[in-house]
Each structure stands twice: as C-alpha cells, then as structure tokens.
Structure 1
Amino acid sequence: MIRNIFNFINLHNGEESKDKVLDNVIANISFRGSNLWILACAIIIASIGLNVNSTAVIIGAMLISPLMGPIVGAGFALGTYNFSLLKKSFKNLLIATFVSLTVSAVYFYISPFKDVQSELLSRTAPTIYDVLIAFFGGLVGVIAITRVQKGNPIPGVAIATALMPPLCTAGFGLATFNFSYFFGAFYLYTINCFFICIATFFVVKFLQYPSSLIESKYEKRIRYGISILIVVMIVPSFYLAYNLFNEKKFNKTAETFIQKEFEKNGYTVIYKKIDYNSTPKIIDLAFLNKKFTDKEIASFNKMLADNGLMDTKLNIRQDETDIKSQILSEINKFDNNISEKDIAISKLRQELDSYKIADSTLLNEVEILYPKIYNVSYGKIEQYPRTDSARLQFTLVYSGDEVDQDQLGRWLQKRLNEKNVKTIKIETE
C-alpha cells in the first residue's frame, strides 16, 4: 500500500531524459535577437497594463515573457555545479533585466499618465507571501520542464511569480524618480528570481542530475552560500509581512472605534482617512452636520488607547473649506475608475437603445391601415445568418386574414426607415 502511494507521487515517473532537459534549458537561456524583441514588447504591454490598471493586459504580457529561461538555467547550473552555465545564465539575466528596466522607464517617462494605480502599488512592498508564491511557482516550472509530457504550466508560473510587473514598476520608479517604488519593486523581482532559482536547485538535486564537480568541498560551500542567501532574502520579507499584518489590524481596530463611538450614535461620517505610517498614527474624520467642541475631541483622543489604538491621534475636520478640499482630493483619486464605469454604462445604454423602438404611434397606425389584423406584437431581435456576427431585425408578429405580407413589409420599411424587416403571421384556433 505504502509502495503504491510512493509510486503515485514519484517525480521520476514521466521524467524526460536528463540530457534532453539540459539541452532545452541551455537553449532557452540566451537573450539575443528575437528573444530581446519579444521581451521588449512584453515589457511595453505590461507597462501599459499597469498604466491603465488592467489585470488582463498584465497577464497577457506575462504569458509572452521569455524571462523564465535564464532564471531556470541558473537553478540548473547551481544544482549540477556547472559554473560556466551559471555565469552564462547570470549574464543573460542581467541583460534581460537591464533591457526591461530601460524600456519600461522610457515608456513611463514618455507616458502622460503617471498616476499610481492599484496594480502598480501592489508591487512596491513585497512580503513573505511573495516568497511562497515565487518558490512554489518555481517548483511547478522546473517539474514541468523535466517531464516528457510538459503540458502547459509555464504560462501559469509566469503569472503566479509575476516577473514582469515588478520590473515595470521599478521602471516607473526610475521614470518618476520615486526610488522607494524602485527599490520595493526591484526587491520583489529579485525575490521572484531567487526563489524560482532555489526551487529549481532543489528539484534538480532531488532528481539526481549529474554533477560537474569533482571535489566535494565546493558542494558544501555552495550549500552554505545558498542557505545564507535564503536568510538574507527572507528576513526583510518577514518584516514587511509583519508590518502589513499590524497595519491591517490597526485599520480594523480604527474602523471598529469609528463605528462604535460615532456611527452608532447617529453621526454621519462624510470623510475618513486612516494613516498607519505616520508618527503618531492619524485618524482623520469629518461629519455631515455635527460640530464637536475641543473638550469632546480631547475626550475621544483619550479613548483611543483604551480601544487598542496606541500612539494614535484623532483629527476631526470641522472647517468647511478644508473638508471640501479633502473630499475633492479623494474623489480625484478615483477619477479613472469612475470614467471607466461611465464608458461601460454608456456602451450598455447604446446597446439597449439599438433594441428600442421609440415610436408610440406605430401600433395605432397598423390598426387603422390594416383593420383585419389583431394580436400585433413587434420588436427587434437578433438574427444569426451563416456568418460570425449577428444583426438586428425588426419583426412584426400578428394574427388575421386578407393581408398582403409583402405590402405590409414594404410599408414598415418605409415607415421605420429599416432595411431588415420581417412579418410573421400566426394562425389562431
């Protein structure tokens, strides 16, 4: 039973020959000619996706990105202690990284839109979760590479580990001289590269690829070096994850305090901003019609510590000019999202209007000109001819006798200025 389970999960089942795998890995390392052009195009697409905050465009860029090659090559080189392959992999990865940063920085420098969107902002503060995503994504990638039947998980790995968006975000940081964005995004990119490489190293060792080393002392040095690098890469991400956890906890506590002390007492909050990163932490509020005295504001500030909001200051904005400027500032942040929604609504309205017949007198005219028909219904329906597209057709359904359908159809075409008209007679019992 246990043996069957081990056979079921055995990675050696379906494994490609090691020589073929290494040949494929080496072939995908080089960044010359077409690979560089594909990478540059993918970077521009990803930059546009970040610029317009479109997840679909970003995913499309990651699907065509050739960045995985030298990273996996470096993992294979470490696993087989092939230093010439490692040198070649690092050289090509540096070329790819430089080209990507240059192209994305130029794009964002030229682009008139330099607003920080949510897709871009999410790549500026990596955490331990990014480490896990990179590592397990790398495992999927290298396992797929070593199979006879490779399937199609490589694009999924590119999406999961997100190599392109951090590079583009780093380019945005360079173009706008925002170096906190640059270093945060480049650190995320480095994490992804490193842990894909480490995942590859572990799988290569597990599958027992032949070593290029003769002396075993170098193996120990490499293992120690990798262990030190793992610690160096993980520790900052643990700190950032811990900081993120504290920020979310603080925001939740602040929301609970606002709801308990203000909203449940009937005070309508029209402006709210919680700043965890300031010193002290700040909660800014403004109310619809309630004015608080200085004594009441001081009392609320004393309550903060009792409600788990240590080192926090509560500001209640009561100057009308200040409130208006703050609300307008918040509204401007969402202008792009609002405009996108307006465009979508406008398109839906246009589509609905195409089905609408804005003529209330048509039914009366039909009854006068053709008194012997009854049970009249009409509207526009989608007609599907033998093509890839549909077209709208005005259709009139009726019951009755002694009606010239061709004449009725021609009259409707003239009356409605519609070329595509159909009349259908229904027999009644």
Structure 2
Amino acid sequence: MAKSKFIRFFNLHTGEDKKENVLENVVNNISFRGANLWILACAIVIASVGLNVNSTAVIIGAMLISPLMSPIVGAGFALGVYDFPLLKKSLKNLLIATFVSLLVSFLYFTLSPFKDAQSELLARTSPNIYDVLIAFFGGLVGVIAITRVEKGNPIPGVAIATALMPPLCTAGYGLAIGNLSYFAGALYLYMINCFFICLSTFIIVKYLNYPKVNFVDANREKKITRVISLIILVLIIPSVYFAYTLLEQKQYSQKVNKFIQTAFTDKGYTVVFERTNYNANPKKLELAFLIKKFSKEEVDRIKREMEDYGIKNTELVIRQDNNDLKADILNEINKKEQNLSEKDIRIKQLNAELNKYQINTPNLQENIKILFPQITSYSIGVQNKIITADSAINTISLIYIADKKLSEEEFIKLQNWMKIQFPEREVAVIANQNSDFALPRKESTK
C-alpha cells in the first residue's frame, strides 16, 4: 500500500492531457510559415543585438519569444509514435528555421559596426557535457509540460535553459567575421541542444505509451534504436572531451595562481605582467615584476619549485630588461580597456564631466569657521562661462553669504582668501542684499 502511494507521487499519467489533443497541438506548431517565420526572424535579430552588446536580459527575451523548439519536439514525438511523415515534416521545418536564423544573424553581424567577441558570444563556442545535461533535462521538463492538461510555468523556463537561439546567432557571427572555429563550436552546441531535446521527448512519449501511427516490425525498431544510440555517442564523446579540457584548464589556472601568490606576492614582489599560454606544448608562463630582478640561480630554483605546486610541462619565462616588455604591458591594458562595455565607458565619461564641477579643497569648511567666524551660512558651487573670443570656457567658484553683513574690508579679505584657495579658477564672491558691501558681479561675454 505504501509502495503504491509512493509510485503515485511519480506517476506522469496524473494530470496528463488527452494524447490526441497533445499530438494535434504539436503538429500545428511545427510549420514555419507566415507569422512563425517573422517571429523567428525578429527573435534572431533581438538575440543578435543582445549578444553584440553583451546584454543577458535581451538574450533571455529573444529566447522566450522564439518558436524554434516546436519542430524539435515534433521530431521527438514522430520518432516516439513512428510517424515518419511527421518526422520528415519536422526535420524539414527545423532546417528551414536553422537556415533563416543563420542568414538573419549573418546579415546582422555583417552590417553591425561592433565586431568584438563579448563574453556572451564566447560562452557559446565551446560546448561540453554540461550543455548535454541542460539540453536533456530541459527537454524532459518541456515535453512533460506539453503533455499536461495545465501547461503551467515550465515552458518559458525551458526556452531559456535550453538556449537554442544564442548558438545560432553565434554561428552567424562566426560566419560574418570569418572565424570557422566559432561557427563550428556554436553549431555543435546547437546540434547538441536539438538532439537531446528530441531524445528526451522520444523517451517521455515512449514512457507515456503514445500509440504508434505506423506498424513497425521488431527489426526496424531495433535499427532506429541503434541509430539513436550512435548519434548519442557521436555528440556526447566530443562534449565529454571539451568538459575534461575545461576542467584541466581551470585546475591548472588555480595552481598557477597559488604559485604566484605564494612564491612572489606573499614575499612582497609586485607582478606587473602575467601571461599564460595553456595550449602551447610545453605550456608557457610569462611573468614580469615591478622592481625585483632575479639571478639565473634564483630563476632555476623557482622553476624547480613549480613542480611542488603541481605545475608540470610548463616553461617559466621571467621578463627582465626586455625592451618589448613595456609594449606587451600596454597591449594587455588596451585589451582590457576594449572589453569594457559601452555602459562602463559612458559612466567614466560622466564621472569625468562631474569632476569638473566638484570642489575638492580639503578642510575648506574648518578654515572658513576660523578665519571668518561671522559667516555661518554659505554655499559654494561651480559655474561655466564663455569669456574669450575663441569660446574657451572659464570656471568660476562662487560663495554666497546668506545671513551676516560684511564690511568692505572683510569682503575683500574673503575674496582674496578664496582666490588663494582656487588659484586655477576665477573667483566671484556674491553677498546677499542685506550685506553692507558687495563686489559687482562680472558680466559674461557672449
């Protein structure tokens, strides 16, 4: 009794929609004609813009409106019920959608003035086993939701998790800039997503016992199973290799960072240049220091110590007295600067503009209290004024006396003191109407 109750918790037949309704819905959404094609093209443009400007929110929006998943699910249903005409139709529409997506993204990135590879683009060029898991389990959630009477909230989440749009856009980007490795990596990720969504759909359809449309003998059914198994191996083996390579690279980077921290930074040696070539054979680690110069014996000792940190098959190069070092450091700085987003650059520009209007004289308030105790209320600001024939801008510091009357002597003393505080600015001291004395305010030259 307890066992049957436990099984009912995991029974997918509970809440299942009628099979004919589900199949009808799947078949109706397969076709890429008219509205579906326009929606796909617009979604591709939105995703391409998001990848171009490195905006995760825009990319997510494109994934939510994309209809790409429908023919993939249709193919999975067709395999599950052995409906080969439906399978042919699904694959045909998937090819049309893929071609249109590649074309639109290629045209966008060809016309776009921004060709730099942002992090969102690069993330889609090296798929690994984790992408397989995401596609498979995301597909499971998607098809389970499709077969329910109440579709619920999983569908939008599946569209985001399985991420069919970004790899296609990245493949189009690779074509636009002539980088075949980007194109191949992104297309491989797209194929992984398509196949494992299809596979998870096939598994759920078989589990829910959808009726077969065509009679298939046992031999043909085994042949289909063998073909599916072969495709799984073909797609999984490279992704496992990529995942293993990524893990090795991260572990190597952690060892290098620990080595640099312990052997140099903790001893007070400032590292001003660091470059690691993981793909070289042997691997190469280049370092340069602000002041410290190492003798040949010290360099040899450090090379031997690297093995204690698990850093093997690595050539250590310490750059000393090298004329090219300055150029390399500047190149690294320039690369980092180029990776700043437009938003960061705009923030820097606004901060620089704001600094023009800020008064950064330390202890100004304390000095005024000591030298001019009769002044208890004032404000200081910056104002721009065009004063010369060539329209140069001169900055003026202003102080407003709000409550106390000043004599002429006090007023002149205050103005002279302000000029000392701001030697690079033209100073105007303006008192309120209740003061006994106020210097005339200069008129701006238009």
Give the TM-score, by structure 1 length: 0.80
**Inter-partner Cα distance in structure 2 for 1:339 and 1:14:** 49
Show the 5 A alignment for 1:187-266.
187-217=188-218, 218-266=220-268
Q: Aligned in 2, Cα 1:139/1:347: closer, same or farther, shift over 3 Å?
A: farther
- Cα shift at 1:367: 7.9
**Inter-partner Cα distance in structure 2 for 1:275 and 1:206:** 49
Q: What residue in structure 2 maps to residue 127 of structure 1?
A: 128
Residue pair 1:139, 1:203 contacting (<8 A) in 2 also: yes
Show the 5 A alignment for 1:71-220.
71-217=72-218, 218-220=220-222
Q: Aligned in 2, Cα 1:297/1:212: closer, same or farther, shift over 3 Å?
A: same
The residue type equivalent to 1:17 in the other structure is K
**Inter-partner Cα distance in structure 1 for 2:320 and 2:283:** 20
Give the TM-score, by structure 2 length: 0.77
Q: What residue in structure 1 maps to residue 53 of structure 2?
A: 52
Q: Aligned in 2, Cα 1:43/1:313: closer, same or farther, shift over 3 Å?
A: same
Residue pair 2:380, 2:399 contacting (<8 A) in 1 also: no
Q: Per the alignment, in what secondary structure is the counterpart of residue 42 of structure 2?
A: helix
Mean alpha-carbon deviation: is it higher for 296-305 or for 280-289?
296-305
Aligned residues: 366
Q: What residue in structure 1 maps to residue 277 of structure 2?
A: 275
Residue pair 1:50, 1:58 contacting (<8 A) in 2 also: yes
- Cα shift at 1:173: 1.1
Q: Aligned in 2, Cα 1:244/1:366: closer, same or farther, shift over 3 Å?
A: same
- Cα shift at 1:14: 1.1
Q: What residue in structure 2 maps to residue 341 of structure 1?
A: 344
Q: What residue in structure 2 maps to residue 330 of structure 1?
A: 332
Mean alpha-carbon deviation: is it higher for 185-194 or for 211-220?
211-220
Q: Per the alignment, in what secondary structure is the counterpart of residue 269 of structure 2?
A: coil
**Inter-partner Cα distance in structure 1 for 2:327 and 2:352:** 33
Mean alpha-carbon deviation: is it higher for 338-347 or for 57-66?
338-347
Q: Per the alignment, in what secondary structure is the counterpart of residue 185 of structure 2?
A: helix
**Inter-partner Cα distance in structure 1 for 2:126 and 2:182:** 8
**Inter-partner Cα distance in structure 2 for 1:352 and 1:147:** 60
- Cα shift at 1:343: 2.5
Residue pair 1:305, 1:311 contacting (<8 A) in 2 also: no
1:365 paired to 2:363: no
Q: What residue in structure 2 maps to residue 61 of structure 1?
A: 62
CA deviations over 1:245-284 (Å, ceiling 9, x no partner): 1111111111111112111221101121222111111111
1:284 to 276, 283, 286: 286
Q: What residue in structure 1 maps to residue 28 of structure 2?
A: 27
- Cα shift at 1:342: 4.1
Residue pair 2:135, 2:192 contacting (<8 A) in 1 also: yes
Q: Per the alignment, in what secondary structure is the counterpart of residue 402 of structure 2?
A: helix
- Cα shift at 1:186: 0.6
CA deviations over 1:12-60 (Å, ceiling 9, x no partner): 1111111110111011111111211111111111111111111111111
Stretches of structure 2 that go unaligned for 5 or more consecutive residues are 357-378, 382-397, 406-446
CA deviations over 1:33-90 (Å, ceiling 9, x no partner): 1211111111111111111111111111111111001000000001111100000000
**Inter-partner Cα distance in structure 1 for 2:280 and 2:104:** 35
Q: What residue in structure 1 maps to residue 393 of structure 2?
A: none
Residue pair 2:145, 2:155 contacting (<8 A) in 1 also: yes
Residue pair 2:162, 2:193 contacting (<8 A) in 1 also: yes
Q: Aligned in 2, Cα 1:154/1:108: closer, same or farther, shift over 3 Å?
A: same
The root-mean-square deviation of aligned C-alpha atoms, in Å, is 2.4
The residue type equivalent to 1:326 in the other structure is D
**Inter-partner Cα distance in structure 2 for 1:197 and 1:213:** 19
**Inter-partner Cα distance in structure 2 for 1:33 and 1:344:** 43
CA deviations over 1:356-412 (Å, ceiling 9, x no partner): x866866x53688xxxxxxxxxxxxxxxxxxxxxxxxxxxxxxxxxxxxxxxxxxxx
Residue pair 1:102, 1:171 contacting (<8 A) in 2 also: yes
State which structure, 1 or 2, has the greater radius of gyration over its C-alpha atoms: 2
Q: Aligned in 2, Cα 1:266/1:9: closer, same or farther, shift over 3 Å?
A: same
